[in-house]
């Protein structure tokens, strides 16, 4: 499910259709490449902001976005932010107290998680986990190592990492400005390209 999408479509572009009649391939020849260039720019801006707020790597942030390209037949392009789950550990300050941890997110939301605790796994990953006999779907089961009198052993019950929805974690204030900047870039790109194409058509007609 998408949280919100930055979308560029043909409603504003159709106003240029009359001017584009002198261009080989008509408006679609100019608009579809411009739409895709602006859409790529928007995706990069959104990816960086999602990575910064969610405190994840850019590659992982990119997997939270879904893009749709424009074509000559469909003059519409968009980037949607998917409302998937992200780890909460980097939003928790201090150690667990009274068998709970509290996270404060960029969205302004504060959430307490009962029965949660810090775990450092062998691969180096640190996160906030809970121990349970049943594990919610979509959560990976891990059995971390512990040290005891007889040596190292795995915990009896599985643990799963606490994740929360992206829409609850980040503030989406940055999307409307990106939409406005993208629309301005799109208009500029199309106008510039049309001017060049019309000048090219005029030279051929001489």
Domain ranges of the chain: 2-83+171-205, 89-161
The model's confidence at residue 88, banded by pLDDT at 50, 70 and 90, is: very high
Contact 9, 76 (CB under 8 A): yes
Over residues 105-133, the mean pLDDT reads 85
Residue 189 above 90 pLDDT? no
Q: How far is CA 183 from CA 12, 79, 115, 131, 143, in A?
A: 9, 13, 47, 48, 50
State the average pLDDT for the chain: 80
Task: Check whether 124 has a pLDDT greater than 90.
Answer: no
Under 8 Å between Cβ of 181 and 3: no
Tokens of 88: 């909460």
Q: With a cut of 90, say whether residue 86 has pLDDT above it.
A: yes
Q: How many CB atoms lie within 10 A of CB 190?
A: 22
Structure tokens at 113: 């998680």
What's the CA gap between 194 and 189, in Å, rounded? 8
Per DSSP, the residues of the chain read -EEEEEEE-HHHHGGGTTGGGGSTTHHHHHHHHHHHHHHHHHHHHHHHHHHHHHT--HHHHHTTEEEE---SS---EEEEEE--EEE-GGGB-S--BTTEEEEE-TTS-EEEEETEEEEE-TTS-EEEEEE-SS--TT---B--EEEETTEEEE-SS-EEE-EEEHHHHS-GGGHHHHHHHHHHHHHHHHHHHHHHHHHHHHHHH-
**pLDDT of the residue at 94:** 73
pLDDT value at 197 more than 80: no
- Give the pLDDT band of residue 19 (cuts 50, 70, 90): low
| Model confidence pLDDT, tens digit, residues 125-153 | 888 888 765 555 445 555 556 665 666 55
């Amino acid at each position: 499910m998408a949280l919100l999408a930055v979308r560029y479509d043909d409603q504003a572009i159709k106003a240029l259709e009359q001017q584009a009649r002198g261009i080989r391939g008509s408006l679609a020849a100019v608009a579809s490449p411009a739409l895709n260039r602006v859409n790529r720019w928007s995706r990069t801006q959104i990816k960086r902001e999602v990575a910064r707020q969610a405190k994840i790597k850019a590659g992982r942030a990119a997997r939270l976005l879904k893009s749709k390209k424009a074509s000559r037949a469909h003059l519409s392009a968009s980037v949607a932010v998917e409302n998937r789950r992200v780890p909460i550990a980097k939003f928790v300050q201090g150690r667990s107290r009274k068998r709970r941890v509290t996270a404060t997110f960029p969205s302004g939301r504060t959430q307490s998680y009962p029965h949660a605790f810090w775990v450092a796994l062998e691969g180096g990953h640190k996160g906030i986990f809970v121990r349970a006999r049943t594990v919610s779907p979509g959560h990976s089961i891990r059995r971390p190592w512990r040290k005891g009198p007889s040596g190292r052993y795995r915990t009896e019950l599985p643990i799963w990492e606490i994740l929360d929805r992206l829409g609850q974690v980040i503030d989406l204030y940055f999307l409307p400005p990106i939409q406005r900047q993208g629309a301005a870039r799109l208009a500029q790109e199309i106008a510039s390209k049309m001017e060049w194409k019309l000048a090219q058509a005029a030279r051929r007609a001489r």
